[in-house]
Amino acid sequence: MSRWTKRRVFFLPLLAVLATLATLATPRTVRAGEEDDLQRQIETQRAGVSDLERLDELHTAGDEVVLLKAWLDEAWALRAKHEYDQVREVLDRSLAQAELIRQKISVSKLRAQSDKREAALTETRRKTEAARKALADTTVKKKALEASSK
């Protein structure tokens, strides 16, 4: 073997090892960005929880809000453990939970509005029936007066 061939035999494995180390070092920088992104998503969803609590004037989604907070705490703990795939799953679940809470709040508000309108309708029907009865009584009195004046 020539002197250059010996050097190539030595440098090729060394080059492969350096390339492998460079490849292993790259995901850490990507993971740092990913971790920051997941942290931002968790914090954004936590801020949304207070908005949901404020929207829930009738307090119909209390249990669901507590569950959402627990899931966001779980996502934070998993992020600290660098379990990014599990964090994404929990965040997806949390987004669905937040949507469920929004829908429950909307349903409760619509139900309250419906109950209010139903009560108003019942009151209007009662007043209408009382007016009909009064009209019928007045008609009877009028006929009685007309009959007695003839």
* Number of domains observed in the structure of the chain: 1
Half-sphere exposure for 105 (CA within 13 Å, toward CB): 19
Three-state DSSP at 60 gives coil
pTM of the model: 0.66
Three-state DSSP at 26 gives helix
Phi and psi torsions of 103, nearest 5°: -65, -40
Token pair in block for residue 66: 């507590």
Separation between Cα atoms, residue 117 and residue 36, nearest integer Å: 49
Phi and psi torsions of 57, nearest 5°: -65, -30
Token pair in block for residue 85: 């795939």
Token pair in block for residue 20: 């492998």
The pLDDT tens digits along the chain (150 residues) read 555 555 555 555 655 555 665 555 544 444 668 889 999 999 999 999 999 999 999 999 999 999 999 999 999 999 999 999 999 999 999 999 999 999 999 999 999 999 999 999 999 999 999 999 999 999 999 999 888 887
Residue 67: domain span: 3-149
Token pair in block for residue 104: 């429950």
